[in-house]
C-alpha cells in the first residue's frame, strides 16, 4: 500500500510565478490536510478536506493561496504570484476520516522561490 504521494519533490520558481503542488492521499482515506513547514514557523496548518469538501481553511493566506480536491484521489495546492517568503516545505497528510485523528504524511514538496 503506497503512502501519501506528493509531486514534485522539489520545485523552484521565480518571484511572481505560479506553483501547483500535488497530493495523492492513501487509498480509502477520506480526509486530506495541507501544512507548511519552515525552520522559523515550524509546522503550520493550512487547510483540510473531508470527503473532498473543504472543512477548514483557517490557515490559508487569504491572497494567492488556494486548494482544491476535485476527486478522492488527489488534491492540489496552488500559489499564485509566488514570493520568496513562500519558500517552505509543503506537506500533505491523509487520514481515514470518520472518528480517526491519525494523519499519515507524504514526503513533502520543497518550494524555493528565487
Partner 1 sequence: GDSVTQTEGPVTLSEGTSLTVNCSYETKQYPTLFWYVQYPGEGPQLLFKVPKANEKGSNRGFEATYNKEATSFHLQKASVQESDSAVYYCALGEGNYQLIWGSGTKLIIKP
Chain positions contacting partner 1, by CB under 8 A = 4, 31, 33, 42-43, 45, 48, 50, 55-56, 91, 93, 95, 97-108
- Cβ proximity to partner 1: between 55 and 114 the closer is 55
C-beta closer to partner 1: residue 88 or 93: 93
For residue 60, the minimal CB distance to partner 1 (Å) is: 14
* Nearest distance from C-beta of residue 111 to partner 1, angstroms: 15
The 3 state secondary structure assigned to 12-36 is: EECCCCCEEEEEECCCCCCEEEEEE
- C-alpha 113/C-alpha 72 separation (Å) is 29
- Closest approach of Cβ 81 to partner 1, in Å? 27
Distance CA 81, CA 90 (A): 17
Amino acid at each position: 500500500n503506497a503512502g501519501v504521494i506528493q509531486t514534485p519533490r522539489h520545485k523552484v520558481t521565480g518571484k511572481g510565478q505560479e506553483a501547483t503542488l500535488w497530493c495523492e492521499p492513501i487509498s480509502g482515506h477520506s480526509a486530506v490536510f495541507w501544512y507548511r513547514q519552515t525552520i522559523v514557523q515550524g509546522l503550520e496548518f493550512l487547510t483540510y478536506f473531508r470527503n473532498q469538501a473543504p472543512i477548514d481553511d483557517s490557515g490559508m493566506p487569504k491572497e494567492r493561496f488556494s486548494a482544491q480536491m476535485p476527486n478522492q484521489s488527489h488534491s492540489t495546492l496552488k500559489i499564485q504570484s509566488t514570493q520568496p517568503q513562500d519558500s517552505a516545505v509543503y506537506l500533505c497528510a491523509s487520514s481515514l476520516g470518520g472518528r480517526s485523528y491519525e494523519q499519515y504524511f507524504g514526503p513533502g514538496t520543497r518550494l524555493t522561490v528565487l
